[in-house]
Amino acid sequence: MIVEGRNLDLVVLILTWGLALWAIDKIKKGWIPQFRRLAGLDALEEAVGRAAEMGRPVHFTSGLNSLSGTWAPLTMAGLAVFGELARLCARYGVPVIYSVYGTLVMPIATELYKQAYVAEGKAEEARPEEAIRYLSGSQFAYAAAVQGIAEREKPAANIMVGPFYAESLIFAETFYRIGSMQIAGTARAYQIPFFAIICDYVLIGEECYAAGAYLTKDPAQTGSIFVQDLGKLFALIVGLLGVLLYSAGSKIIIDFLKW
């Protein structure tokens, strides 16, 4: 019935789902798990404050985003950060620019932007057509357009959370050159070193996915971060066991992973 080689995937999914429900229930009953601080997300307010002092906009982009496929969750994580950023910008009266690649996220981004201004009681100050900018559906046309915005409008801060490819370095270097404070996050391992070298704060891999839960501090969401850590512990144990058993000549863990 279950496709061969996907039994373990199903067990892990069911276990993770069950544990997430359990953790959420515990948090709702008053349990407060300890989480490490994510400096990159804590610095969002600092970035907006800096822009308010300098009288310049804040720039946001979610990379080569997509709402289908492998990187859809990372795009959603980026949108969660944008929602919070738009709210902070509305609160401090700072213009925000969201450079959009591909049109699928545009309606969502526009809605998040409008909601942020409504929530802060400044609906009349919202300028979605100026804030949410569709640039291109082509990688390097989009990269060139972001560079143009950076050079012409000199944003005080640049926040990048999403799936980034070769354009990551172009963005990070351009905004560095104009003196923007930068917060960047991606789960694409090959782009993380570029961000780590150039940006002020970096969200590495899983930290991006936890952004929505971390920023909203919603108990229903924070419970799942606890399960994420449990999952990492499980992966670490399986990995170590695999190394030890394989070194001893046993393929039991490899067979287990292929189950």
Partner 1 sequence: MSIVYRRYLPILITFICGIIMIIQYFLVPPNPTEPYQTSLNKIGTDLTNWTNLIGAFTAGFGLVNILLLHGKHITRRTPGQWYFSVWLLIMMFLMVIIGIGGEPAIGINVTGFWYDWMQVYVFGACSGAMYASIAFYITSATIRSFRARTLQATALLVIGFLTLMSRTPALQVYPWIVDTADWINSFLVKSSFRGITIGAALGAILLGIRTLMGMETGYFGRRD
In 3D, which of 204, 157, 154, 127 has the Cα closest to residue 61?
Answer: 157
Residue 41 C-alpha from the chain's centroid: 10
Question: Are residues 223 and 27 in contact, defined by beta-carbon separation less than 8 angstroms?
Answer: yes
Tell me if 227 contacts partner 1 by CB under 8 A.
yes
Q: Which two tokens stand for residue 256?
A: 């287990």
- DSSP H/E element including 88: helix 72-92
Question: Which one of residues 74, 88, 126, 157 is an interface residue with partner 1 (CB under 8 A)?
Answer: 74
The residue among 53 and 218 lying less far from partner 1, judged by its C-beta, is 218
Quote the least distance from Cβ 125 to partner 1, whole Å: 17
**Near partner 1 by CB under 8 A: residue from 93, 137, 237, 246:** 137
Nearer Cβ to partner 1 (103/250): 103
Task: Work out how close the CB of 127 gets to partner 1 at its nearest, in angstroms, rounded to a whole number.
Answer: 10
183, 43 Cβ separation under 8 angstroms: yes
Kindly state whether residue 235 participates in binding partner 1, applying the rule CB under 8 A.
yes
Please report whether residue 244 would count as binding partner 1 according to CB under 8 A: no
Applying CB under 8 A, the span of 34-42, 46-54, 57-65, 81-89 interacting with partner 1 comes to 81-89
Q: How far is Cα 167 from Cα 172, in angstroms, rounded to an integer?
A: 9
Segment 165 to 224, residues that bind partner 1, using CB under 8 A:
166, 169-170, 172-173, 187, 189, 192, 194, 197-198, 204-213, 216, 218, 220-221, 224
Size of the site for partner 1 (CB under 8 A): 82
Q: What distance in Å separates the CA atoms of residue 200 and residue 49, rounded to the nearest whole number?
A: 15
Number of residues assigned to the chain: 259
CA angle, corner 227, sides to 223 and 233, nearest 5? Answer: 150
Identified binder of partner 1 from the candidate list 44, 80, 156, 202, rule CB under 8 A: 80
**C-beta of 135: minimal distance to partner 1 in Å?**
9
The distance between the two most distant Cα atoms of the chain, rounded to a whole number of Å, is: 69
Cα–Cα distance, 212 to 78 (Å, whole number): 9
Is 79 among the residues that bind partner 1 (CB under 8 A)?
Answer: yes
**Using rule CB under 8 A, residue 164 touches partner 1:** no
Contact characters 5-34, partner 1, x per CB under 8 A = -x--xx-xx--xx--x---x----------
